[in-house]
Structure 1
């Protein structure tokens, strides 16, 4: 069940299962503060949605920023059918009336299947090898079905919106994050949340943190 989560929420590289591919920050914004943030993980899997939003809320709590999970705000009727722009305007006004000033929205926007060689270039080629050495070392290609491995990369996107009175639905920041078809869903979710929080800290978005350089890309 939880693997469904990442078809609607999740990525990899190195020791972490999530990697920031690129991100964009509104050039008019230097520092963005928010006092109450709605956390939205868009997925059909209710358990996965609760898990993701709860982990994210925990990070907000320890940093002293008030946040609310969408599972505590959206009713079943709201997510079971498409909402019109007028309905979303009304919902946004309800959030404003309840002192919300930002929304952090996360969703899976696509996926692709990769098929890399199981062996590295260093393993495939050695200086001074002749035909027989090369052939013998790589003859598994003919019959080993696992010589080429398949894995799925999920392309996720997290966006921070200001819902301030004079800047309705203004995009403050957007991060594109890749997730490798994960074995450990809980770790992937944890890595994803850590990456979001770190990126926001580095760019003075809601949180303040030490500048670590290089993590958030362009």
Structure 2
């Protein structure tokens, strides 16, 4: 019952945000996971959004007693200046393990979709006829702004284990849509709140008391 109430409360918290959970997957072989030192990576060409996202999420992990480091502070600009080979990334992962990291949280924009919609009240009254319907929708002909055009960003966040004594594996992946973002700060806040809520429910991060 407590879990059901928690899920309902979480739904209320995120239902008015710009971030919407589409689906998520948890490794069935892992009941819970408590990272000790995590690397946070936001893959985007928007430096401002990347820095704000990584820093905010770092603060959230630190408030839960987890040592967190952002890619922004760990890597120099050369890491993003050219394509890395698989061997390069194996060496990078090995160096992270030597430095005490046991997990990586990677977020990336997987796609962008343009959508068009208009908001028209559905009237259940069967007594109104054709003229009522036509009269109330004539703006389709004359108002170019009748339809609402907006973008949806399809974003993926993955939590990986890079533990020394365990197989390096995917622990969790979440698919989240960011709908018509207007503010970097608000979008980052909404997205992080949603990710943390889901991770808490999956026992993959300690809840903040």
Deviation, 1:183, is 1.9
| Secondary structure in structure 1 of the residue aligned to 2:25 | strand
Identify unmatched segments of 5+ residues in structure 1: 1-12, 211-218
Q: 1:48 maps to which residue?
A: 49
Q: 1:213 maps to which residue?
A: none
Deviation, 1:113, is 1.3
Contact 1:201 1:209 in 2 (8 A): no
* Structure 2 Cα separation of the partners of residues 44 and 169 of structure 1: 27
Moved more, 51-60 or 110-119: 110-119
Deviation, 1:146, is 1.4
Q: 1:70 maps to which residue?
A: 71
Q: 2:8 maps to which residue?
A: none
Relative to the length of structure 1, the TM-score reads 0.84
**Aligned alpha-carbon RMSD (Å):** 1.7
Relative to structure 1, is the Cα distance of residues 138 and 201 closer, same or farther in structure 2, using a 3 angstrom cutoff? Answer: same
Q: 1:155 maps to which residue?
A: 154
Paired residues, number: 196
Q: 2:27 maps to which residue?
A: 26
Contact 1:202 1:209 in 2 (8 A): no
Q: 2:93 maps to which residue?
A: 92
Q: 2:104 maps to which residue?
A: 103
Contact 1:32 1:205 in 2 (8 A): yes
Deviation, 1:164, is 1.3
Give deviations 1:59-91, integer Å, cap 9, x for gaps. 111111110010111111111111111111110
* Structure 2 Cα separation of the partners of residues 82 and 55 of structure 1: 27
Relative to structure 1, is the Cα distance of residues 169 and 75 closer, same or farther in structure 2, using a 3 angstrom cutoff? Answer: farther
Q: 2:119 maps to which residue?
A: 118
| Secondary structure in structure 2 of the residue aligned to 1:179 | strand
Give deviations 1:121-146, integer Å, cap 9, x for gaps. 23xx6421122222211111111111
* Structure 2 Cα separation of the partners of residues 204 and 14 of structure 1: 22
* Structure 2 Cα separation of the partners of residues 167 and 86 of structure 1: 21
Contact 2:107 2:158 in 1 (8 A): yes
Deviation, 1:37, is 0.1
Identify unmatched segments of 5+ residues in structure 2: 1-13
